[in-house]
Structure 1
């Protein structure tokens, strides 16, 4: 594996690694309205990764469209929705759901799935994916 993109912070950071044989055509990283947005393209797919720190309100300003037939958008949106297995839906959850509807995105996780991320700080497992 090798590092394609890294966005550091005093508190947290985001990184994307790919297999050594993966040919990366381009990559970009930037922050917008408190969101960390990392994107890279290979010959077959574009992947956009988003991290929204907990105190930051969700505000999406990026265009998810690409020239590629396959585009995977992943992220940790720190938001709640009853559609994702939470007991409540917060404002950020409503906004993420709106983004999914507008972008014709499909939710890949289910509330009954095993946790995909474990927070050492909160000592709890979480499921992530959009």
Structure 2
């Protein structure tokens, strides 16, 4: 594996690793409201990693446009609570994640 992109941080950081022979078309990151969003674009898909610290309000700013409507996989730690993923109550960040999912026609897969 080789590191495609990283966002170092003194407490927490994010990185996306890919197979050594992967062909990467682009990488990008955003840091809005201390939320780390990293994206790696391949020929047929985009992989995005999100980390939202517990004290930050959820927002999502896509670092790369997706004009060709490639498959986009978004993984992350949203530090949000929702009945949809097993919590007894939904907090404001959970509501924001749910609204973002609905607005972007995303499906939540969680464990």
- How does the TM-score come out when normalised to structure 1? 0.78
Gaps spanning 5+ residues in structure 1: where? 110-126
- Give the paired residue count: 110
What value does the CA root-mean-square deviation take over the aligned residues? 1.6
Checking the alignment, whether the CA contact within 8 Å between 2:30 and 2:62 is kept in structure 1 is: no
TM-superposed deviation, 1:13: 0.2
How far apart are the structure 1 equivalents of 2:64 and 2:101? 10
Tell me: higher relative CO, structure 1 or 2? Use CA pairs within 8 A at least 6 residues apart.
2
Give 2:15's aligned residue: 15
3-state SS of paired residue (1:92):
helix
Displacement over 4 Å in runs of 4+: none
CA deviation profile, 1:21-66 (whole Å, cap 9, x unmatched): 2111110122012211101101110111111011111123437861
Give 1:104's aligned residue: 105
